[in-house]
Amino acid sequence: MCAVALRQSRSGVSRVAGARKAAIPGYIEPCDPTLRENPPRGEGWVYEIKADGYRAQLHLHAGDVTVYSRTGLDWTEQFSSIAAAAHKLKAKSAIIDGEAVAYGSGGLPDFQQLRRELGRKRSERVRYHAFDLLYLDGYDLRDAAYEDRKRLLQELLRDAPQTFICVEALEADGDEIFAKGCKLGLEGLVVKRLGRPYRSGRQETWIKLKCKKSETFPIVAFVEKLGAHPRKIASLYVGRRQNGRLVYAGKVRTGYTETSARELRERLDPVIRRTSPLDVRIKKPKATWVEPTVDIEVEYGALTDDGLLREAVFKGLRDDLALRKVKAPRLVPSSAARPKLGVPKENVLQLLPDALVPSKEELADYWKRVWNKALPHLGHRPLKLVRHVHGTTFYHKGPLPKDIPEAVHQLRILKREGGEGTRLWVDSLDGFLGLVQIGAVELHPWNSTVEDFEHADRIVIDLDPGEGVEWKAVAEAALELRTLMKREGLDTWPKLTGGKGVHLMAPLEEPMLHDQAHRVARGLCSEFGARDPGRYILSARAKRSNRIFLDYLRNGRGTTAIGTYSPRAREGFPIAAPVTWTLIEKGIRPDAFTIDSPFRAKRRST
């Protein structure tokens, strides 16, 4: 129960003064407390503990739950454990203002722990600190008094799951409670004026008192850890906005985990620039400058006389502050241990622990650029998907998500091993965007169409080089194999895989059964490989060092290869690109095209 003596007048939301019958609104800009160094004087104020977490606005309506970040991003997936618990609330509709918090081993809110917990459906550490109720069962409560909103919140959460915590409002001496809170290691307090309505934006009726000096700063540069594989940052330079200008605020040297150092390096890669973004220039010879679009939370001991940070410690990325129209946060590399993050084991065909994936917004932007060129290659074909869900990247199998968009079509097939299965396929831009929505990163199409999925309409041979094979040797092999296939009546075109190899794509004039296509591909590879057994192999399990695997196994019912124009879950986000034989002869690299440059080859750095 909240400790303040709340108004015990009429029960029921309809009788609360200021409650207004209205349709449930969308995302509401939150009330933003004004930062002060000292508690306010006088009576009529109550004190709430300020937790170190992410501001989160929970919407419950007609059985659906959405959780928004501070700036209105849909973070339901990131706060999935909160969303799951919200279904058990005894309300038809509600909007709650609160803070997503994770408790560390010491029993206090831990911001870094919260970032590690994001997306875990069964997280036992995430809690939702609910401190205000803005809407309940058909009534907008923003014009109701603070204490009435608090009372209704108490009643709503009385029998709620343990994920929900009603933040207590305490009437006490301000100086005394602030001192005790800081002694306990709390981040701070929020002081709220009794009798006041809820208002969006910066308000003087809510006051923020912070025990620890912690602020949000934009990154302006990074120093890379030399020789690190994969790449990671060693330290960051941050700025602060002052009188309309961006000025240098200091260096953040500590606080990074191995994962966060790698995540920051990948996150900053696409925003690297040649010159400093600062309005007042400084000399930093080791700095790699970036656009000041990535914000981080920094805890610090004090400021120097020049206004620079002292004892600055990195606390975490402020992904929740990203604007809805800018790029969403880049997802971190997945980990082999992450099936626990909410991905059912029956959905994981193969984990990709070293994968790096673009954000959903980056993928959506990419498909909007290339969909009309990609559709002839990927449209109307059953698809195998590489998905990224709850921090895990994996080849999907088994049951599909329940919320598949309408533009993503479903094809029911009889599986070879028995039983019925479902494959997804698309025929429009909305279809590609729908796949992005369910976490699809890579698209691997069948060699047949949905109209005749039992017959292959093309043959694919993958030249996959082992360690020690130079790209020049792969290109030469592709050109020689093209000649052989031409002699057999198969015209081919090359597709760069976005990885290490190249695919020879051979459209069939007359479709054939998948088993027949498999036999044709194997026969071609066997004949070609016999020319130089020391150079080529036909078994994926053989020792592949210094040899090229002639992979004919891409042919067969249900077997696939990376689709033309599909992004790859690899560093730099290359794509599988269709090219000409002339470009192969000129030595075009297999990862020459990326989601940022799908039509013009990027120059290879030396």
3-state secondary structure 76-128: CCCCHHHHHHHCCCCCCEEEEEEEEEEECCCCCECHHHHHHHCCCCCCCCEEE
Residue 333 forms part of a structural domain:
no
pLDDT at 324 over 50: no
pLDDT tens for 470-520 read 999 999 999 999 999 999 999 999 999 999 999 999 999 999 999 999 999
Read off the pLDDT of each residue in 130-155 and give the average, rounded to a whole number: 96
pLDDT at 322 over 80: no
What's the pLDDT at 363?
94
Identify whether the C-beta of residue 548 lies closer than 8 Å to the C-beta of residue 477. Answer: yes
Does 203 share its domain with 222?
Answer: no
Residue 6 forms part of a structural domain:
no
Task: Give 175's contacts (C-beta < 8 A, 6+ positions apart).
Answer: 38, 39
Q: What's 549's domain CATH number?
A: 3.30.70.3300
Measure the CA–CA gap between 147 and 171, rounded to whole angstroms. 12
What's the pLDDT at 417?
55
Strands of 367-492, DSSP E: 383-389, 392-396, 409-414, 420-425, 440-445, 455-465
What mean pLDDT value characterizes the chain?
87
pLDDT at 606 over 90: no
Does 201 share its domain with 221?
Answer: no
- Partner residues linked to 92 by β-bridges: none
Does 201 share its domain with 230?
Answer: no
Residues of the chain above pLDDT 90, percent: 57
Residue 25 forms part of a structural domain:
no
Domain count for the chain, please give it: 4
Q: How confident is the model at residue 78 (pLDDT cuts 50, 70, 90)?
A: confident
pLDDT tens for 519-535 read 999 999 999 999 998 89
| Count of alpha carbons within 13 angstroms of residue 236, beta-carbon side | 35
Range of the domain at 53: 33-210
Does 115 share its domain with 191?
Answer: yes
What's the pLDDT at 336?
34
Residue 338 forms part of a structural domain:
no
8-state DSSP, 14 = G
Instruction: Give the residue numbers annotated as catalytic, written as ranges.
Output: 50
Does 517 share its domain with 371?
Answer: no
pLDDT at 5 over 60: no
What's the pLDDT at 121?
63
Task: Check residues 186 and 5 and name the one with the higher pLDDT.
Answer: 186
Does 181 share its domain with 193?
Answer: yes
Does 230 share its domain with 302?
Answer: yes
What's the pLDDT at 138?
95
Does 202 share its domain with 222?
Answer: no
pLDDT tens for 548-580 read 999 999 999 989 999 999 999 998 899 999 999
pLDDT at 325 over 60: no
What's the pLDDT at 577?
94
Of the given ranges (35-49, 295-309, 353-367), which has the lowest mean pLDDT? Answer: 295-309
Does 234 share its domain with 165?
Answer: no
What's the pLDDT at 302?
66
What's the pLDDT at 418?
60
Identify whether the C-beta of residue 153 lies closer than 8 Å to the C-beta of residue 111. Answer: no
pLDDT at 1 over 70: no
Taking alpha carbons only, the member of 456, 438, 462 closest to residue 381 is: 456
Does 202 share its domain with 218?
Answer: no
- Look at residue 524 and give its three-state secondary structure: helix
pLDDT at 430 over 80: yes
